Amino acid sequence: MFQYNIEQKTYKVGKYNIGGDPRSTPTTMVGTIFYSKQKHIFKDETKGLIDKTFAEGLIKKEEELANKTGLVPALDVIISSLPCVKPILDFVKDATDMPIFLDAPTIDCKIPALQYVKEMGIQDRIVYNSITPDSHGEEYQMLKECGIKNYIVLAMESTKWTTQARMDVIASVVEKAKTVGLPGENFLVDGCVLDMCSLGLAMSAMEETKKKYGFPVGSGAHNAVDVWRNLKEKFGDIKSHASVVASTITLAAGADFLLYGPIQHADIMFPTAAFVKAAHSQLLFDEGKMAPPDHPVFKIG
């Protein structure tokens, strides 16, 4: 299990490392913050006015859980409108030193966000989320000018629905990014989870990616639960439990990062992911090795 014939890549993002041997390296836990209509966090979302005390509390909680578990904390920072670009990035820069997965849904927000990241000089802390088959000229040009070195490749494929189709997408996007001449080639692959059926394909593509490229891999597996129709009506209020399962099951495919959904769920996501990582660390014994002293296996017992 987790035996690869290619070196597993590890990227330095700020002061943290992402990727590597799933048996010995801690998973990066990426909590989403500042998404549209997130409760209590906005004073006026249309103007980018945020409740800094509330937001800081969520971030500090994730950092505390990272210290308790040995997992790597990170933020998926949503920039959903132009007024949000400066206040949100200013706040996150000062509030924490953890990696920032920069997530702007539209090109109208992506370009100003990238420009401001360059102006702030925090490119080394950024993972761009994400380049896709639909990414084209203006976006690539701005990425090139900005100087960001870490990019998520989203394996979005909606016609063939096979593992190979997703691998073809990954190869195509990586080749395009290299051709454009981006500053770095630190690619992370998101297997792309849209629903419960695509979760299996995403895990398969993640495993194949680690075998073929050694890139760090992960996904937003909680998406599968978010679109599970009639879940509450049929089984009761168990969405949070199902989300834990959806996220942690991807660790069996070697996931290096979990986009686990709203940062409010950190309190249940960190301990459960750390539990799985502790189990994986035992596999090192097959080679007469042990996990490093800061590994979750030595933190959670």
Residue-level pLDDT at 295: 97
| Helix/strand/coil for 31 | strand
pLDDT of residue 184 exceeding 90, the answer is no
Pick the closest to residue 12 from 206, 149, 117, 105 (CA basis). Answer: 149
Q: Nearest 5 degrees, angle CA 215-CA 89-CA 151?
A: 15
Please report whether residue 249 resides in a domain. yes
DSSP track, 65-130: HHHHH-PEEEEEEE--SGGGHHHHHHHHHHH--S-EEEE-SSHHHHHHHHHHHHHHT-GGGEEEEE
H or E segment and range at residue 188:
strand 186-190
Residue-level pLDDT at 185: 84
Q: Which domain holds residue 248?
A: 11-298
Residue-level pLDDT at 111: 95
The alpha-helical segments, DSSP class H, found in the chain are 52-69, 85-95, 107-120, 137-146, 163-180, 196-212, 223-226, 231-235, 239-249, 266-281
**Average pLDDT, whole number, for the chain?**
96
Please report whether residue 2 resides in a domain. no
Percentage of the chain beyond pLDDT 90 is 94
pLDDT, tens digit (0-9, with 9 covering 90-100), for 200-236: 999 999 999 999 999 999 999 999 999 999 999 999 9
Cβ neighbours of residue 232 closer than 8 Å, sequence gap 6 or more: 238, 239
Please report whether residue 3 resides in a domain. no
The count of structural domains within the chain is 1
Please report whether residue 219 resides in a domain. yes
Rounded Cα gap, residues 81 and 150, in angstroms = 23
Structure tokens at 50: 């945020």
Residue-level pLDDT at 173: 96
Which residues face 126 on adjacent strands?
A: 100
pLDDT of residue 37 exceeding 90, the answer is no
Residue-level pLDDT at 148: 95
Residue-level pLDDT at 158: 85
Q: Looking at residue 215, which CATH number applies to its domain?
A: 3.20.20.20
Pick the closest to residue 62 from 269, 301, 275 (CA basis). Answer: 269
For residues 66-94, average pLDDT:
97
pLDDT, tens digit (0-9, with 9 covering 90-100), for 255-286: 999 999 999 999 999 999 999 999 999 999 99
Residue-level pLDDT at 36: 86
Please report whether residue 274 resides in a domain. yes
For residues 27-41, average pLDDT:
94
Please report whether residue 1 resides in a domain. no
Residue-level pLDDT at 228: 96
Residue-level pLDDT at 183: 84
Residue-level pLDDT at 46: 86
pLDDT, tens digit (0-9, with 9 covering 90-100), for 130-170: 999 999 889 999 999 999 999 999 999 988 999 999 999 99
Rounded Cα gap, residues 250 and 206, in angstroms = 9
Cα of 167 vs its chain's centroid, Å: 19
Q: How confident is the model at residue 301 (pLDDT cuts 50, 70, 90)?
A: confident
Rounded Cα gap, residues 88 and 91, in angstroms = 5
| Cα 293 to Cα 16, 180, 242, 254, distances in angstroms | 16, 41, 31, 21
How many residues are there in the chain?
Answer: 301
Residue-level pLDDT at 72: 98
Phi/psi for 211 (5° steps) reads -70, -40
